[in-house]
Amino acid sequence: MVNNSKASYIARYAIMLATILVAVLLDKSITLGLPIAGATFELLVTLSFCFLLNSWLDGFLSTVFMGLSSFIWSFPFSNVASQNPLISVLPRVFVGIIAFCAYRLILLATRKAKHKAVCQIAAITVSAFCGLVANTVLYLGALSVFGEGYGSFATLLKGVAILNILPEYLVSLLGCASVVLGVRRGLKLGIDGNNWRVSGEDERDTTNEPSKSFDGESAVSDTDENDRAALTSDEAVTKEQKDEEKQ
């Protein structure tokens, strides 16, 4: 279960930013000296954070942090294009919103389905694809508009189609749902990722109903179980007293 205090919010987003920074560094280190600049781990980690807690803010900030990470690492790795925030940061502001909107719409369309795990896998995978396409189109579009000497959008797309897009898309589409659902299970967030919420402190809609656990049972907190146990014990004592009075 995730703590919902102000300190936990700061810690959560600090961890998110740090993890994405490491993922971007890993990608740049792997492709160092090569004529390509892959974002395989960067996109997998970012999109996993986007859907993990089923939160609009997390979905938005995850890709903003991805843009900031690209901007930060562009200086030590001499990536001139990414040193322009209009290319590295601005397009990513919209990627998380697009991906998370697709995720929520799919959950809304499948809210009456019985197999919640299957719906989550489908929603995460399709939404990740939407985020990947949005990132490709918006980033290359910004590069062609604000960059110098990169050519047209079509030329850029042809140049990265096989070496960049293919591995990035495959890894994210195959791994994103597994990462999200695995972390949700480990942190006991529920299959929908909603168990971190405190009633009244976040937006509520039809997709934010109390989460089911992965075995299909409703998630019940330890406090609720203790209250029920105490109530049952009190009822038993009262019944014994009545039986003694009758005797």
Residue 86 lies in a domain: yes
Instruction: List all residues 6 or more positions away from 17 whose beta carbon is below 8 Å from its beta carbon.
Output: 65, 68, 69
Residue 232 lies in a domain: no
Instruction: List all residues 6 or more positions away from 194 whose beta carbon is below 8 Å from its beta carbon.
Output: 54, 208, 209, 210, 211
Domain count, the chain: 1
pLDDT at residue 21 in the model:
96
Q: Which two tokens stand for residue 189?
A: 């967030």
Q: What is the pTM of this model?
A: 0.76
Domain containing residue 188: CATH number:
1.10.1760.20
Tell me the percentage of the chain whose pLDDT exceeds 70.
Answer: 70
Q: What 3-state DSSP class applies to 17?
A: helix
Mean pLDDT of the 72-93 span = 90
Residue 185 lies in a domain: yes
For 129, the domain range is: 6-208
pLDDT in tens, 206-225: 455 555 556 554 444 444 55
Residue 149 lies in a domain: yes
Residue 245 lies in a domain: no
DSSP secondary structure string for all residues of 27-86: HHHHTTTSS----HHHHHHHHHHHHHT--HHHHHHHHHHHHHHHHHHTTTTT-TGGGSHH
Higher pLDDT: 76 or 225? It is 76
The whole-angstrom separation of Cα 79 and Cα 102 is 31
Q: Where do we find the tokens 């560094």?
A: 25
The whole-angstrom separation of Cα 144 and Cα 159 is 13
pLDDT in tens, 27-57: 888 877 665 667 889 999 999 999 999 999 9
DSSP for residue 5: S
How many other C-beta atoms lie within 10 A of the C-beta of residue 122?
Answer: 16
pLDDT at residue 217 in the model:
47
Q: What 3-state DSSP class applies to 101?
A: helix
Residue 203: pLDDT band by 50, 70, 90 thresholds?
Answer: very low
Residue 199: pLDDT band by 50, 70, 90 thresholds?
Answer: very low
pLDDT in tens, 231-240: 555 565 565 5
Q: What 3-state DSSP class applies to 192?
A: coil
Residue 109 lies in a domain: yes
Residue 236 lies in a domain: no
Residue 244 lies in a domain: no
